[in-house]
């Protein structure tokens, strides 16, 4: 087992989908399901003991008992990841994020699971969104694994320049060069930490994993987990329409923010996630790389298929220096600021998001309330997709403090009184809560009573 896996992981047991589903079915049919927190604790204990199949069963029970708890779903994703069930892990991590988990750890876990499931586009989108909060050592490797080694090389090279000259960063950079086919650069960088008589073996092992169709093997090899068949998360655990993100903060109360699902007691934040983007395993200790099962998708998408705004900031050619010093210098020259350069698009977006006074109707509809501003903004995107009518109105994020807790309320602004009531009726018809209010009469608990709107 790789050294990093020994240090960070107590689980190396495989579990089949059939076993997990059978256990779940037995739980679902019981008359008295265990309490969610009890099941979560049992899952934790099973993880520590390396009993992955039991951990899965208990983690699934906790989600069944409390399906809107983001922490339990994130823990379930971590357990799935440990068992090599990447498709199920991706679903669970995505559900956790939908329910309000905005941690960089869960975002990185979700991205890595999607990479292993063959969905690079979803992984790249998430990595770009969380790029400022994920450790560059992990971020760079994740971009490389997701089919964009150019960006990974730039991020990792910049981390070296910023002083993060650790074996983890160097070896992740070396592997990123290998994924791009820059074998000379990969060898030179790997030689910084690998004994000279073992460098060729290390490069040979990498050469067996770089083909596009081996995307699952790469992630499994990196994390030290088995490759197993996975048909996806059991249907009983699906996040139904009744508990989607749009409804987390839309429960209507009389003047007080509802107890938000995102703020509900969550599973312990210390659940055992795999060490994402960890230092690559030592030579001779890697899990054997077997040909991956039939790929879920084809080769990774080309950079041209991605958003050009972020890519444009890294448009320089790939480093080609002949020496380690040249390679390092070339890699970090593209970005002048530490970790990652802010893109021109982000500046424009910030300018576009400058608040402005209400321009038309003075009535608003509150759609939800979240514990963080980032969650509120992300929820607006979901609302806008579900209700196309909102494209003609403005996103309004207001702060509130209720019973000592701070909330960020999500509203749509610019309505006339009648149209606000009509829109709320549409929202309520789909089973969600909705509150109409006026700009000159904010809801109770509002911190800033001056309503400002972000442009559409």
The residue among 414 and 404 whose pLDDT is bigger is 414
User: Residue 107's pLDDT is what?
Assistant: 94
Rounded average pLDDT over 230-245: 71
* pLDDT for the residue 431: 64
Q: Identify the band that residue 91 occupies on the pLDDT scale cut at 50, 70 and 90.
A: very high
Strands lying side by side in the sheet with 355-356: 355-356, 453-454, 394-402, 405-415, 363-370, 435-438
Q: What is the mean pLDDT of the chain?
A: 70
Q: What is the pLDDT at residue 95?
A: 93
Residue 405 has pLDDT above 60, yes or no: yes
What local confidence, expressed as pLDDT, does residue 191 receive? 93
Measure the CA dihedral 67/70/71/72, to 10°.
Answer: 20
The reported pLDDT for the residue numbered 181 is 93
Buried b (16+ CB within 10 A) or exposed e, 278-312: bbbbbbeebbebeebeeeeeeebeebeebeeebbe
Predicted pLDDT at 236: 85
Cα(355)–Cα(36) distance, rounded to whole angstroms? 42
Residue pLDDT, tens place only, 292-325: 333 333 333 333 223 322 222 222 333 333 344 4
Q: In which band, very low, low, confident or very high, does the pLDDT at 360 lie, cut at 50, 70 and 90?
A: low
Q: Domain 355-454 belongs to what architecture?
A: 2-Layer Sandwich (3.30)
The SS3 of residue 370 is: strand
What pLDDT was estimated at residue 170? 94
Tens of pLDDT, residues 114-136: 999 999 999 999 999 999 999 99
| Local confidence band at 407 (pLDDT 50, 70, 90 cut-offs) | confident
Assess contact for 316 and 419: CB atoms under 8 A: no
| pLDDT mean over 398-420 | 85
178's CB contacts (< 8 A; 6+ apart) are 186, 203, 206, 207, 210
CB 53 within 8 A of CB 13: yes
Of 335 and 327, the one with more pLDDT:
327
Sequence-ordered list of residues with C-beta below 8 angstroms from that of 361, at least 6 positions apart, any chain: 413, 414, 415, 416, 417, 419, 420
Q: Which residue(s) pair with 369 in the sheet? A: 409
What's the pLDDT at 251?
36
Mean pLDDT, residues 340-357 taken together: 35
Report CA-CA distances (Å) from 152 to 26, 157, 318. Answer: 44, 8, 11
Q: What is the DSSP string of 292-335?
A: PSSPSS-SPPPGGGS-HHHHHTT-SPPP--SSHHHHHHHHHTT-
User: Over the stretch 180-223, which tens digit does the pLDDT of each residue have?
Assistant: 999 999 999 999 999 999 999 999 888 888 888 888 888 988 88
Question: Residue 381 pLDDT > 70, yes or no?
Answer: yes
Decide the pairing of beta strands 363-370 and 355-356.
Answer: unpaired
**Amino acid 32: pLDDT:** 53
Contact 244, 379 (CB under 8 A): no
- Please, where in the chain does CATH 3.30.70.1070 lie? 355-454
For 3-223+245-312, which CATH class? mainly alpha
Distances in whole angstroms, Cα of residue 114 to Cα of each of 103, 143, 185, 219, 246: 17, 12, 28, 10, 23
Residue 24, pLDDT > 80, answer no
Least confident of 74-78, 303-307, 319-323, 389-393: 303-307
pLDDT at 71 over 80: yes
**Are 87 and 114 in contact, with CB atoms under 8 Å apart?**
no
The whole-number pLDDT of residue 188 equals 94
The predicted model gives 60-80 an average pLDDT of 90
Output DSSP code: residue 369.
E
Domain span(s) for CATH 1.25.40.10 in the chain = 3-223+245-312
pLDDT at 341 over 50: no
pLDDT: which is higher, 14 or 453: 453
Distance (Å, rounded) from C-alpha 225 to C-alpha 331?
A: 31
């Amino acid at each position: 087992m790789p050294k990093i896996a020994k240090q960070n992981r107590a689980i190396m047991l495989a579990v089949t989908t059939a076993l997990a589903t059978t256990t779940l079915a037995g739980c679902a049919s019981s008359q008295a399901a265990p309490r969610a927190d009890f099941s979560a604790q049992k899952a934790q204990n099973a993880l520590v003991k390396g009993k992955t199949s039991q951990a899965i069963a208990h983690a699934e029970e906790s989600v069944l008992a409390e399906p809107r708890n983001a922490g339990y779903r994130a823990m379930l994703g971590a357990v799935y990841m440990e068992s090599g069930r990447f498709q199920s892990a991706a679903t669970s991590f995505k559900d956790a994020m939908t329910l309000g988990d905005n941690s960089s750890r869960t975002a990185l876990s979700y991205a890595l699971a999607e990479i292993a499931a063959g969905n690079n586009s979803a992984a790249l989108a998430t990595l770009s969104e969380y790029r400022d909060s994920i450790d560059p050592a992990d971020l760079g490797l994740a971009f490389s694994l997701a089919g964009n080694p150019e960006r990974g090389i730039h991020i990792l090279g910049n981390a070296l320049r910023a002083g993060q000259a650790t074996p983890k960063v160097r070896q992740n950079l070396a592997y990123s060069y290998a994924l791009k086919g820059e074998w000379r650069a990969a060898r030179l960088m790997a030689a910084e930490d690998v004994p000279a008589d073992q460098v060729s073996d290390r490069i040979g092992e990498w050469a067996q994993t770089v083909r596009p169709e081996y995307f699952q093997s790469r992630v499994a090899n990196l994390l030290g987990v088995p490759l197993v068949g996975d048909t996806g998360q059991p249907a009983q655990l699906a996040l139904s329409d009744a508990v989607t993100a749009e409804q987390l903060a839309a429960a209507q109360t009389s003047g007080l923010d509802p107890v938000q699902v995102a703020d509900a007691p969550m599973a312990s934040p210390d659940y055992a996630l795999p060490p994402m983007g960890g230092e690559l395993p030592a030579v001779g200790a890697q899990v054997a790389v077997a040909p991956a099962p039939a790929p879920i998708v084809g080769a990774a998408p080309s950079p041209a298929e991605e958003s050009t705004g972020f890519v444009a900031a890294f448009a320089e050619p790939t480093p080609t220096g002949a020496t380690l010093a040249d390679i390092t210098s070339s890699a970090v020259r593209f970005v002048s600021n530490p970790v990652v350069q802010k893109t021109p698009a982000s500046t424009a977006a910030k300018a576009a998001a400058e608040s402005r006074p209400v321009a038309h109707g003075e009535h608003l509809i509150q759609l939800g309330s979240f514990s963080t501003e980032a969650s509120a903004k992300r929820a607006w995107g979901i609302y806008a997709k579900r209700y196309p009518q909102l494209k003609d109105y403005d996103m309004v994020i207001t702060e509130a403090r209720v019973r000592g807790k701070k909330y960020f309320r999500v509203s749509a602004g610019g309505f006339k009184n009648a149209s606000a009531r009509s829109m709320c009726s549409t929202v309520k018809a789909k089973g969600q809560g909705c509150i109409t209010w006026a700009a000159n009469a904010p809801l109770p608990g509002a911190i800033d009573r001056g309503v400002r709107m972000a442009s559409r």
